[in-house]
Amino acid sequence: MLSPVENVLFGIIFTLAVVMFLKSSIELVRLVLVGKPDNRLKGQIWKRILSMLEYAFLQKRVVSERYGINHFVIFWGFIVLLFANIEFVLAGLFPGFAYHKIIGATLGRLAYFCFDVVSLAMIASMAVAYFRRLVIKPSHIEYRSPEGFIILSLIVGLMMAFFGLHGAEIAMGKAFAPNAMPFSRYVVAPLLTNVSPSTLVVMTKIFWWLHALIFLFFLNYLPFSKHMHILWAIPNCFCRSYERIPIVPREEFNIGRPSGVSIVDEFSWKDLLDFFSCTECGRCNANCPATTVGKVLNPRLIIHDGKVNLRANGTKIRNGNRTNRLLPLITEETNRAGSISEEALWACTTCGACMANCPVFIEHVPKIIKMRRHLAENLAKFPEELAVFFEAEEQRSNPWGIAPAERDKWAKDANLRRFVEGSNPEYLLYAGCAASFDSRNKKVCLAVVKALTAAGISFGILGNEEKCCGDSLRRLGNEFVFEKFAKANVAQFEKLGVKKIITICPHCYSTFKNDYPQFGFGAEVHHHSEFLPRLVREGKLELKGTNGFGRVLFHDSCYLGRHNDIYEQPRELIVCATGQRALEFDRRLAKSFCCGAGGGRMWMEEHPEQRVNINRVKEALEKKPDVIAVACPYCMTMFTDGAKDLKAQDKVHVLDIAEIVAESIKV
């Protein structure tokens, strides 16, 4: 029904639009390839395809949140309407083309029915989207960005044009299967009954061209807006990390070669793909502890700034210019578009909530650590108080600079076996720095010792030979010193024939389990929160199961839960020890709110109005617990201090689950 002239015109416009689109997209691909190699795609192709289907097509993480189902509808609507648009374009290029001429009348009817109904569903979901942004107004400002409204409006425009076109065709009597298209037939067409045929013809033309132009405009708007996530999100799911928590790669230390990332092309191509895949949904922000308490750190903004930076500098970098007038990646200022502020980088606790909630598997934390490496190692530019921490670690191999000879003071009355060369007990109990030096945490360690002894486990300690695991060093970007520790520890474990380790601290646990394999470490690692429940299950440890603790509220530590999937075991342990289930936070399990000490933040200062731990303790006090049960020395410190600051130290006790167990052992 288009005139030949219109066909040719459309042909020209369409070709131009497609060429422009391809050009823009290829440019984006080339920008991504500016990044460093990342060899994660070796093998696992089927696993990746399945994952892609689960997360990108079934939208698993998207629908787990409110209004996620709306996006599910929009996503599948797009896929279905893709076929509608293919027919549309082909009809524009080849006069008279229509599906029913290819696939037959019945299938044709089915197709048109789908297109009609889905378009209606799309309008409905657009209405929901508008409603959410304008009326419900979620607290995250991302939802009301101009780009968002533009895109919604374009989609609505497309749908209106679709219905206008088909309604007019039906009214003219020129539609193939009017009864197959319910909305067009029964709602739109009746509106046009009193319109003259000539006007209807004009209307069809107008709606057709409107649809065509919006469609082609949208196509080319894609690569420049956040909507390009529809190109990148699916491959990003394919390329996701399968580690429980994405681990930052080792640094290659060479003379003359700076470490970390200070120019955008020092990121890997996967990092750059992440920048483009961001849908700017803001779920990372919503769950980030730093953002929640009002700090400058905004994970979504970090990804957005990375994207802007790559776009601003990409061409120059590809032409070999890596130094002259580039938009800096890292800056001291806090709101420069396309540059990430240092303050934001240091505010991260590496809790992983951003990554756990991201629907497209963007890896925020490794990028932050890579940029911290640049600041800490190339520039020696970090918050002043870290100098104390770094020096203490380097000289005394513990964060507080206490003489290493004092490290086994906690064990002086416990009469424990020491690991020496030769024959050794089955397990190494790795106390860690907190349990060795912090008087509160020494008690936790002794509680674990009591439980292990009661269960008849063969274990020993390193005593004074124990060194820090180096966790905070790696998270703060001081990779050089971390490597020194990792290599020394791995060598020590090998020399002593250590095959199984039990740790008191989840950070030691996570570092040994997830980071040390990069250095050739292969021993079995346990944390007491999952080892003690196992002992109970195996009957080696008997607990009374009577509650002398009152209301026990359990806090999921980031490095146990999100980082290592340990959720059920500590809860099981509490049930065995006290006979009843622990109380739960609202923000729990994978959505647990960080205590604020991870990522090296334990050693840094915080503004009194922006204390992560206060936020969490306030949430805890709302549940009116008698005991807050934790399984981590950092959490222990943060909760205890938080309770003191909120003057609640008499109302609530902070205990490690090991201490609860120790008191519940059946004698």
Partner 1 sequence: MSDSADKPKKKPKRPLGKVRLIPAACIACGARCQAECPVDAIEMNDKGEPIIDLEKCIGCRKCIKVCPAAALEHFYTPEELVILEELKKTAEKAKEELPKEEVAEPERRADESYKGVWVFVEQLDGCAASVSWELLGVGKTLANDLNVELAAFILGHEIAHLIKEAFAYGAQKVYIIDDPLLKEYRTETYLRGTVDLVNKYKPEVVLMGATGLGRDLAGAVATVLNAGLTADCTGLAIDKEKRLLEQTRPAFGGNIMATILTQWHRPQMATVRPHVMPKPTPIADAAGEVIREKLNLTESEVKARVLEIVREEAADHIDIAGAEVLVSGGRGMLGPENFKILDELARILGGTVSSSRAAVDAGWMPYERQVGQTGKTVRPKIYIACGISGAIQHLVGMQDSQLIIAINRDKDAPILEVADYGIVGDVFQVVPALIQELKQMVEDRNKCSA
Near partner 1 by CB under 8 A, which window of 292-300, 393-401, 448-456, 569-577? 393-401
Give whichever of 355 and 476 is closer to partner 1, judged by the CB atom: 476
Left, alpha or beta for 47 (phi > 0: left; psi -120 to 50: alpha)? alpha
Among 68, 249, 258, 404, indicate the residue that binds partner 1 (CB under 8 A): 404
Least Å from the CB of residue 337 to partner 1: 30
- Give the separation between CA 614 and CA 54, rounded to whole angstroms: 38
Among 5, 82, 405, 667, indicate the residue that binds partner 1 (CB under 8 A): 405
Question: Judged by CB under 8 A, how many residues of this single chain contact partner 1?
Answer: 22
Near partner 1 by CB under 8 A, which window of 27-35, 302-310, 388-396, 575-583? 388-396
Least Å from the CB of residue 600 to partner 1: 12
x/- letters, 595..634, toward partner 1 (CB under 8 A): --------xxx--x--------------------------
Tokens 């030979």, residue?
A: 465
**15: helix, coil or strand?**
helix
Least Å from the CB of residue 439 to partner 1: 4
User: Is residue 305 involved in binding partner 1 (CB under 8 A)?
Assistant: no
- Give the separation between CA 500 and CA 559, rounded to whole angstroms: 19
Give whichever of 204 and 398 is closer to partner 1, judged by the CB atom: 398
Left, alpha or beta for 539 (phi > 0: left; psi -120 to 50: alpha)? left
Residue 79: C-alpha distances to residues 73, 86, 151 (Å): 10, 11, 17
x/- letters, 549..588, toward partner 1 (CB under 8 A): ----------------------------------------
Among 23, 537, 624, 644, indicate the residue that binds partner 1 (CB under 8 A): 644
What token pair was written down for 162?
């679709």
Least Å from the CB of residue 385 to partner 1: 4
Among 392, 431, 473, 658, indicate the residue that binds partner 1 (CB under 8 A): 392
Are 626 and 580 a contacting pair, CB within 8 Å?
Answer: no
x/- letters, 418..457, toward partner 1 (CB under 8 A): -------------------xxxx-----------------
Give whichever of 393 and 556 is closer to partner 1, judged by the CB atom: 393
Residues whose CB falls within 8 Å of the CB of residue 663, separated by 6 or more in sequence, listed in order:
548, 577
User: Is residue 385 involved in binding partner 1 (CB under 8 A)?
Assistant: yes
For residue 345, the Cα-to-chain-centroid distance in whole angstroms is 16
- Four-residue CA torsion sign, 168, 169, 174, 177: negative
Give whichever of 385 and 524 is closer to partner 1, judged by the CB atom: 385
Are 377 and 385 a contacting pair, CB within 8 Å?
Answer: no
- Give the separation between CA 589 and CA 556, rounded to whole angstroms: 6
User: Is residue 402 involved in binding partner 1 (CB under 8 A)?
Assistant: yes
Give whichever of 286 and 602 is closer to partner 1, judged by the CB atom: 602
What is the pairing mode between strands 340-341 and 330-331?
parallel
- Give the separation between CA 580 and CA 588, rounded to whole angstroms: 18
x/- letters, 330..369, toward partner 1 (CB under 8 A): ----------------------------------------
Near partner 1 by CB under 8 A, which window of 86-94, 162-170, 401-409, 487-495? 401-409
Alpha helices in 94-145 (DSSP H): 100-103, 105-131
Give whichever of 158 and 376 is closer to partner 1, judged by the CB atom: 376
User: Is residue 400 involved in binding partner 1 (CB under 8 A)?
Assistant: yes
Give whichever of 65 and 343 is closer to partner 1, judged by the CB atom: 343
- Give the separation between CA 96 and CA 571, rounded to whole angstroms: 66
User: Is residue 323 involved in binding partner 1 (CB under 8 A)?
Assistant: no
Residue 160: C-alpha distances to residues 135, 462, 582 (Å): 23, 73, 54
User: Shortest CA distance to 164 belongs to which of 205, 194, 130, 124?
Assistant: 205
Least Å from the CB of residue 610 to partner 1: 12
User: Is residue 646 involved in binding partner 1 (CB under 8 A)?
Assistant: no
Least Å from the CB of residue 237 to partner 1: 41
User: Shortest CA distance to 503 belongs to which of 525, 524, 485?
Assistant: 525
Are 184 and 204 a contacting pair, CB within 8 Å?
Answer: no
Are 160 and 181 a contacting pair, CB within 8 Å?
Answer: no
Give whichever of 581 and 651 is closer to partner 1, judged by the CB atom: 651
- Contacting residues toward partner 1, per CB under 8 A: 385, 388-389, 392, 396, 400-405, 437-440, 603-605, 608, 637, 644-645
